[in-house]
Amino acid sequence: MVHRPLDMNQFEFVIVSGLRAAQLMRGCTPRVVKSLKPITTAQREVVEGKIVVSWKAPTKPKGRPALADLVRL
C-alpha cells in the first residue's frame, strides 16, 4: 500500500497518479523502480516527489488573433 503525501489531498493524489499511470501505460519511462502495476509505479513517483504538478490555465496561442477578438460590438 502506498500512502499519499500529507500536503496533497486525496482527490489530487488520485487524479495525478491516474494521469501518470496512463502515461506509463503509453510507454513513458518510469522515474522510480518499476513495479508490476503501472498505478503503483505512478503512486510511488508522486509520493517521492518525482512528478511536478502544474495546474496552469491554458494560454492563448500567439500569432493571428481569433475572429472573436477582432469583432467589436
- Model pTM greater than 0.75? no
pLDDT digits 0-9 by tens, 5-47: 898 899 999 999 999 999 999 999 999 999 999 999 999 999 9
Say what the pLDDT of residue 73 is: 42
Instruction: List Cβ neighbours of 25 (8 Å cut-off, separation of 6 or more).
Output: 38
How far is residue 9's CA from residue 11's CA, in Å, rounded to a whole number?
Answer: 6
Helix (H) or strand (E) holding 45: helix 38-47
Tell which residue, 57, 7, 53, 16, has the closest CA to residue 24.
Answer: 16
CATH top-level class of 1-54 = alpha beta
